[in-house]
Amino acid sequence: MRDDARVDAMRETRGTLQRQGRFLTFEGGEGAGKSTQISRLKERLNAAGIEAVVTREPGGSPTAETIRELLLSGKVKPLGAEIEAVMFAAARADHVDETIRPALNAGRWVLCDRFADSTRVYQGEAGVDPAFLDRLEAVAVGGYRPDMTILIDVSPEVGLSRVAARSSSDGTPADPDRFETDTKEVHMRRRQLFLDLAAAEPARFVVVDGSAAADKVADDIWQAVCARFPLDLGHAGPAAPDPARDRIGG
């Protein structure tokens, strides 16, 4: 769907239907624990009677999964960071059209492993012009911005050591993907850029300390989600925390 058509579709949908679903994204560096925590949150939402769709980026729809293979194999890297940004955006546009928008419009919650913030951080860190990234994001997202973004913050040492341990223990291919092979300095700059995004949008972001045990991280995320959406989850409160002030779990 073209840019204008996507925005029109979004306006039309919002004008005629009360959108019930919530759009939650999870962000953070490699091995932060996003997939682990999405699975935990889905279980808790299901137990609370909420249907949740789990999806990921790059990917989340057949066409986007094809683009994912190209991006993570490193085959696109020689074309430069701008072209990689274009391809992440192309995958995102299809993902929104085919998976995210239909789920939200059907009243389901969407739990998405990475979204547009990852482009801002990874391709932004690689030097792509922020104005160009803004335009790509507008085209790809078409108004479907997250209601809440959970940034799972861990040091690169912790995250990459988890990825390495997983590879050696569960048969996951030991070869790191195109982005895992970047230097420690690059991983550290990405971590800071995620924290900067969170500080700039405290109403959307919650920052969770991902270095704790997975059960503790899951509890912290659940507390944050209940605080942010008390009515959806049948809670009268408590009031939503101010993520700019209160770093959860830290």
**For ligand T5A, which residue of 9, 48, 163, 233 counts as binding (CB under 6 A)?**
163
Q: Beta-strand (E) ranges in the chain?
A: 23-27, 52-56, 109-113, 148-153, 205-209
Q: By CB under 6 A, tell whether 1 contacts ligand T5A.
A: no
Q: Among residue numbers 168 through 207, which ones bind ligand T5A (CB under 6 A)?
A: 177, 179
Of 45 and 232, the one with the shorter C-beta distance to ligand T5A is: 45
Query: 26 and 203 in contact (C-beta within 8 Å)?
Result: no
Q: By CB under 6 A, tell whether 22 contacts ligand T5A.
A: no
**Rounded alpha-carbon distances, angstroms, from residue 69 to 59, 121, 157, 172, 204:** 9, 20, 26, 15, 30
**For ligand T5A, which residue of 6, 21, 23, 32 counts as binding (CB under 6 A)?**
32
Quick one: tokens of 176?
A: 């790191």
In the numeric block, the tokens 């482009």 are attached to: 119
Q: By CB under 6 A, tell whether 50 contacts ligand T5A.
A: no
Burial of 237 (0-12, 13-18, 19+ CB in 10 A): exposed
Q: CB count, 10 Å around CB of 159?
A: 23
**For ligand T5A, which residue of 55, 99, 118, 149 counts as binding (CB under 6 A)?**
118
**For ligand T5A, which residue of 119, 141, 228, 248 counts as binding (CB under 6 A)?**
119
- What is the contact surface with ligand T5A in residues (CB under 6 A)? 28, 30-36, 57-58, 72, 88, 113-114, 118-119, 122-123, 162-163, 166, 177, 179, 210, 213-214, 217
